Amino acid sequence: MAQPRVVITGIGQISPLGNTIDDVQAALVNGTSGVREFVNLPTTHLPMKFGAEAVDFTGDMSNFGELEKMTMRSIKKGQRLMSREIQMGVAAAQHAIASAGLSADVFDPDQIGVVFGSDYIMTVPAEYREGVLNSRNDDGSFDFDQWGDGGLPKVNPLWLLKYLPNMPASHIAIYNDLRGPSNSLTMREASANLAIAEAFSTIARGDSDIMVTGSTGTRIHPMRTLHVVTMEKVADDQWQPAEASRPFQQDSTGMVIGEGAGSLTIERLKFAQQRDVEILGEIVGFASSTVLSRDGNPGIQQAIENVMNQALAMGGISAAELGHIHAHGIGMPAMDAEEAQGIRNVIGDADIPVVAAKSYFGNLGAGSGTVETICSLLSMKSGTLFPTLNAGNTHENCPINVVSTADVPAGECFINLNVTPQGQASSLLIRKYTP
């Protein structure tokens, strides 16, 4: 059976570049980085003093875009049950819903659902503070034997609800009375493309007509940041903040950490046509592949090749027809080299331009892929690609055409790539809508 045509009608994001689509567009046009010295994260024990914080996102109701009074009241009341990652995801989704012109007057709530991706969401130490203080011996040392009776009762009984990875989708559905299918995916950086793919599939199966989808994530967190700097290669203080994120470059020293969320509203073509809403792009392919050796080493190059070939086959598009490739481009030399070689093996001799928005905002974790897709959608609409920041000296191990100027055409279609350090890759293939 032929797949139904599924189009993108709404976009929203919260990122280090700002809280609105106009903010992102301006940053891409002006080459403005969102990487700066940390404002909210202590750096005493970190190898770097900078990252890409979403500093404009404070949780104020104005950050959530245009809201009806009832929705605003519900979100404000529910904030005490939302961690920062969840709040960013909800805000991005509210922007995407408003962008698509959706309201209770124009859709059947039983036919619109939510699929959202995230990282595993970590608690912050402050949640346990009172419990720990109430479980001390006379000398001030922590006593595990006192935790059950004295410590645990001091922990907020609703604490867990603030950090469950299925809560972004739950909150978005509840605040907007969306009664269709709801799902949540937690696959690190691969989550965004996979969440959008599942939302597409939900519509294709006939289970929904419209879906709100996307992802939220962070690498900026009192506990998560410590995990990152001990397990992954991070750019250090030898760089000025805006110069530190250097995907595919000869002098790359590691990734920059960030935080953010992105969201898309997608729907059956016939509904978008009936509503006469602007169509930003059409989803035509996607793929997932995990490649691991028997001893547990990730095969990132092969995973990238797999998801590119699978998505192109699904969309009926050849590699040479791609307008551009939005690479994962994390800035870690070994991963960049494997990704670049995987791309080259698929495109052959074709000179396809490659961009990496992580040069602007670092690694947003699960949130990266959706914000990157939005950046490519904006480029496809304007007709011109944004330059990859800090590019111009591509590493010899990265045989790809990394865009470093602002005069390269975006083309009529693009593929977005993401991959985890464990070898889980995902892709999303989008083309410009034609009737």
Which stretches within 316-423 are classed as H helix? 333-347, 358-361, 368-382
Q: pLDDT tens-digit profile of 120-165?
A: 999 998 999 999 999 999 999 999 999 999 999 999 988 889 999 9
Listed residue (373, 175, 170, 356) closest to 261, CA to CA: 373
Same domain, 380 and 408: yes
Share of the chain above pLDDT 90, in %: 91
303 and 355 co-located in one domain? yes
Domain finish residue from 103, 133, 154: 154
pLDDT (average), residues 31-41: 96
CA distance 361 to 241: 11
178: left (phi over 0), alpha (psi -120 to 50) or beta: beta
Q: In terms of domains, do 185 and 299 share one?
A: yes
* Residue linked to tokens 């992580």: 358
Cα 340 → chain centroid:
20
Chain-centroid distance, C-alpha 334: 22
51 part of a folded domain:
yes
Question: Does residue 347 form part of some domain?
Answer: yes
pLDDT of residue 107: 77
Pick the closest to residue 87 from 186, 175, 207 (CA basis): 175
Q: For residue 2, is pLDDT > 80?
A: no
Q: What is the pLDDT of residue 3?
A: 78
* Residue span of the structural domain in which 146 resides: 125-154
1 domain-assigned: no
- Count of CB atoms situated within 10 Å of the CB of 42: 9
> What distance in Å separates the CA atoms of residue 151 and residue 199, rounded to the nearest whole number?
42
Across 305-334, average pLDDT: 97
The reply to whether 135 and 226 lie within a common domain is no
What are the phi and psi torsion angles at 358 (to 5°)?
-60, -20
Residues 201 and 138 in one domain: no
Which of 24, 21, 25 has the alpha carbon at shortest distance from 11?
A: 21
Residue 45 confidence (pLDDT)? 86
Residue-level pLDDT at 44: 86
Nearest-CA neighbor of 63 among 96, 20, 11, 26?
20
- Give domain status of residue 255, yes or no: yes
Tell whether 274 is covered by a domain: yes
Amino acid at residue number 246: R
Same domain for 138 and 286? no
CA distance 303 to 164: 29
pLDDT at 103: 82
pLDDT single digits (tens) 206-256: 999 999 999 999 999 988 999 999 999 999 889 999 999 999 999 999 999
Query: Are 89 and 235 contained in the same domain?
Result: yes
Domain shared by 96 and 129, yes or no: no
pLDDT(105) > 80 = no
Q: What is the pLDDT of residues 328-347, one digit of tens each?
A: 999 999 999 999 999 999 99
* 246 and 183 in a common domain: yes
Q: Are residues 275 and 134 in the same domain?
A: no
Alpha-carbon gap, residue 248 to 331, rounded angstroms: 6
Closest Cα to residue 192, out of 70, 371, 7?
371
Per the domain annotation, does 265 fall within a domain? yes
Domain total in the chain: 2
CATH number at residue 117: 3.40.47.10
**Which residues are within 8 A (CB) of 434 and not within 5 positions of it... i.e. 6 or more apart?**
none
Do 341 and 294 lie in a common domain? Answer: yes
357 CB-contact burial (10 Å; exposed 0-12 / middle 13-18 / buried 19+) = buried
Domain assignment present for residue 86? The answer is yes
Q: Is the pLDDT of residue 1 over 70?
A: no
- Asked if residue 130 and residue 116 are part of one domain, the reply reads no
278 in a structural domain: yes
Give 387-421 pLDDT, tens digit per residue. Answer: 999 999 999 999 999 999 999 999 999 999 999 99
